[in-house]
């Protein structure tokens, strides 16, 4: 068994446009590589900082994310395939490619719709202020149909004129 405790730079494409592990940021690996009958079993954890923005209010989000990983890399040079016909991970040139394993592990743990807090109310659709920062924020109704009703109610003279036209 070999322990792999290492800080590496995060590769590209760990996440979505909304949230992900920025390329080049620190990723801490704490892995065990064990020789088993079929090949090499890799297991352990990886930790990195997820950075993104709230899909409702666009506030920045950042938090440390630790994921569990486990994968068997086959020593057999004939590429075995999974049920979808995709080649299973293999030991190649006496090394294993950790990137697909880590990418899958992080991407599955990242929220599809990241929010700064579960009850974030987002932005005011009319003026764009962040509603969490302005409790009770509202606008007077600006529907022009209401203005017309208002003038009927407050200006009976004009209403009479319109009727006579």
Of 84 and 133, nearer to Zn ion (C-beta) is 133
Smallest distance, Å, CB 38 to Zn ion?
46
Q: How far is the CB of 157 from Zn ion (least distance, A)?
A: 35
Sheet strands (E) in 54-164: 60-74
The CB-of-137 to Zn ion minimum distance in angstroms stands at 6
CA 147 to centroid of chain Cα atoms:
43
At closest approach, how far in Å is the CB of 20 from Zn ion? Answer: 17
Indicate the residue among 117 and 151 with the shorter CB distance to Zn ion. 117
Distance CA 123, CA 130 (A): 5
Residue 1 CB, nearest approach to Zn ion (Å): 44
| Nearer to Zn ion among residue 90 and residue 130 (C-beta) | 130
Residue 78's alpha-carbon distances to 39, 40, 91, 139, in angstroms, are 13, 15, 11, 67
Question: Can you give the binding site for Zn ion, defined by CB under 5 A?
Answer: 54, 56-57, 59, 116, 120, 124, 126-127
Instruction: Give the integer Cα–Cα distance in Å for 80 and 70.
Output: 18
| Cα 8 to Cα 59: distance, rounded to the nearest angstrom | 28
Minimum CB distance to Zn ion smaller for 56 or for 90: 56
Tell whether the torsion through CA atoms of 126, 127, 129 and 135 is positive or negative: negative
CA dihedral 21, 19, 68, 101 (to 10 degrees): -60
In the complex with Zn ion, the residue whose CB is nearer, 3 or 58, is 58
């Amino acid at each position: 068994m070999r322990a792999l405790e290492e800080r590496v730079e995060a590769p590209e494409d760990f996440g979505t446009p909304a949230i992900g592990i920025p390329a080049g940021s620190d990723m801490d690996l704490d892995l065990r590589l064990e020789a088993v009958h079929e090949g090499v079993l890799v297991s352990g954890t990886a930790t990195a900082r997820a950075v993104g923005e709230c899909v409702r209010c666009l506030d920045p989000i950042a938090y440390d994310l630790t994921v569990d990983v486990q994968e068997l890399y086959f020593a057999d040079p004939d590429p075995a395939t999974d049920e979808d016909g995709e080649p299973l991970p293999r030991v190649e040139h006496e090394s294993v490619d950790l990137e697909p394993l880590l990418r899958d592990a992080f991407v599955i743990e990242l929220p599809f719709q990241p929010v700064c807090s579960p009850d974030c109310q987002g932005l005011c659709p009319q003026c764009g202020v962040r509603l969490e920062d302005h409790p009770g924020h509202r606008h007077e109704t600006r529907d022009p149909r209401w203005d017309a009703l208002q003038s009927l109610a407050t200006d009976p003279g004009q209403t009479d004129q319109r009727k006579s036209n």
